[in-house]
Structure 1
Amino acid sequence: MRIYTVDSFTDRPFAGNPAGVCLLDSPVPDAWMQALAAEMRHSETAFVLTRDDGPHSLRWFTPEVEVQLCGHATLATAHILYSLGASGRLEFSTLSGILTTDRSDDGLITMDFPASPPVETEAPESLLAALGVRGLWIGRSRFDYVVEVESADVVRSATPDLDLLRGIDARGVVVTARGDGTPADFVSRFFGPRVGVPEDPVTGSAHCMLSPYWSAKLGRDALVGEQLSARGGVVRTTLRGDRVELAGHATTIWSGTLDITPTVA
């Protein structure tokens, strides 16, 4: 089976968010996929089983758990399939329903994902203490907490207590603010130690929450989000009712062939 590492939400290598992409020949045990994801050590590894008669099967695993939605690994998967000759609209059957991708002539890949607007909520007692920030607004989506802070500089300089964050009952915690003169309309960082991802470099699925939140605040459906991790990355978002289009580029870093059979002792 072929396996790849792809840097997503970037047009240059060694930036954005690296994802593993494994092209399955046939269905494999869940435990084997989890073991391979732990071996790959990316925040997510995607496992895709292509089909000629319907949507491709797509699943995502962190080094510790399977997740229900992942943007950068979906982008990486589509990038690989397009590079191998696929064209037009691709459909994927996932734990979050049918997701689709398209690619423009310049290589920009657009994904159609479900929107997940955050609802204002009272913060868990340890949340702000773990983040070490003052929250202007705190909300919760299907998967994550989101905390708006006063500036992009606060987002950049945040040094959360990851042990405390691991105790928060959510997939992850997003810290966000308005952009500060960069091309980005808003900025963010994502911390998910509970699922084995201390800080995710660029989190596409979190923008399913950030897009409706910032579109409502800024009064525009089309926005640019920048994730201020050490690697950095850009996610273009367009809110379309209860769906969000997430767009970005991707770059293949390496490819290889697995020398193991899909079994787990």
Structure 2
Amino acid sequence: MKLELYQIDAFTNKIFGGNPACVVPLTEWLPDELLLQIAKENAVAETAFFVKKGEKFHLRWFTPDIEMDLCGHATLATAHCIKSILNYPNSTIFFETLSGDLTVEVENDYYFLDFPSRMPIASELPETISKALNIQPKEIYKSRDYVLVYDNQEAIEHIQINRHFFDQINLGHGGVIVTAKGNTCDFVSRFFTPQATILEDPVTGSAHCSLIPFWATRLQKNELKAMQLSNRIGKLNCTNKENRVVISGQARTYSVGHFWID
């Protein structure tokens, strides 16, 4: 079987920036084990698979390790593939996912992702995560992910993870976000996933489901600029709504090709 494969850099306006995702269009669903094998072979943080379903697209996301319940950068990459490569005529793209119905609006080279809001609540830090951090947070919160708040951007830049301790905790679909006010933007962050093939995710749209309402409340503003400080750097425009968040950014196509499976 011959399948199409697109690799797209999301949340960036230049190649080699943002977060790379692979996108695979399907006409019908393949077995889950095969989807996971394809994601492992692609060896990027996420591979998105979609099947057109009437006026919607059924969308699923796989890391090299598990199927995810929500992924921002691979959703943006999929929207870019559908709109800019496959020439979908509509400016609104509707997705059916494990996290419910999601929409992406396309306007002037930007993709606006309408995602659920996940306000984190005060929590305690597991000892294994604390031992894994070279710098301890000032505040700890929890939603799907742990949200660890620091004093400044410099602390975020210098965070290091000891995987011996970090990989002892299983957070399921979740991970650990470290965040602080930004020097040239409203807030910055980094994202780490225990027991994952790829420890640090370059740009994590789903993490901003918690970061946006948190920083919107703290900074008393609903329009925010964010940066994820991985070595690839991601830039996100963020809007806080009552029960939703809108995350927007750009994308660039890196490669277009095919692969074959037996």
Is the 1:172–1:194 contact (alpha carbons within 8 Å) kept by the matching residues of 2? no
Distance 1:203 1:69 in 2: 10
Aligned 1:97-116 pairs, distance under 5 A: 97-104=100-107, 106-116=108-118
Counterpart of 2:39 in structure 1 is 37
Aligned 1:101-250 pairs, distance under 5 A: 101-104=104-107, 106-141=108-143, 143-170=144-171, 171-180=174-183, 182=184, 184-250=185-251
Cα offsets for 1:31-72 (capped at 9, x unmatched): 010000000011110001112x24211000000111100000
Higher mean C-alpha deviation, range 37-46 or range 84-93: 84-93
Question: Aligned letter for 2:154?
Answer: D
Provide structure 2 residue ranges, at least 5 long, that are not aligned to the other structure. none
Distance 1:196 1:94 in 2: 24
**Residue 91 (1) aligns with residue 94 (2):** yes
Question: Aligned letter for 1:197?
Answer: I
Q: Secondary structure at the match of 2:64?
A: coil
Counterpart of 1:81 in structure 2 is 82
Is the 1:65–1:196 contact (alpha carbons within 8 Å) kept by the matching residues of 2? no
How far apart are residue 162 of structure 1 and its match? 2.2
Cα offsets for 1:217-238 (capped at 9, x unmatched): 0000110110000011111110
Question: Aligned letter for 1:249?
Answer: Q
Question: Aligned letter for 2:96?
Answer: S
Counterpart of 2:24 in structure 1 is 22
Distance 1:25 1:242 in 2: 33
- TM-score, length-scaled by structure 1: 0.94
Question: Aligned letter for 1:137?
Answer: E
Aligned-residue CA RMSD (Å): 1.1
How far apart are residue 88 of structure 1 and its match? 1.5
Aligned 1:3-22 pairs, distance under 5 A: 3-22=5-24
Aligned length in residues: 256
How far apart are residue 205 of structure 1 and its match? 0.3
Q: Secondary structure at the match of 2:118?
A: coil
Cα offsets for 1:96-153 (capped at 9, x unmatched): 000100111x210000000111111011112222122121110111x21010011100
Distance 1:164 1:129 in 2: 6
How far apart are residue 257 of structure 1 and its match? 1.4
Q: Secondary structure at the match of 2:260?
A: coil
Distance 2:197 2:206 in 1: 16
Distance 1:232 1:35 in 2: 28
Question: Aligned letter for 1:125?
Answer: E
Question: Aligned letter for 2:67?
Answer: E
Distance 1:60 1:121 in 2: 28
Distance 1:107 1:253 in 2: 16
Over 4 Å off, 4+ runs: none
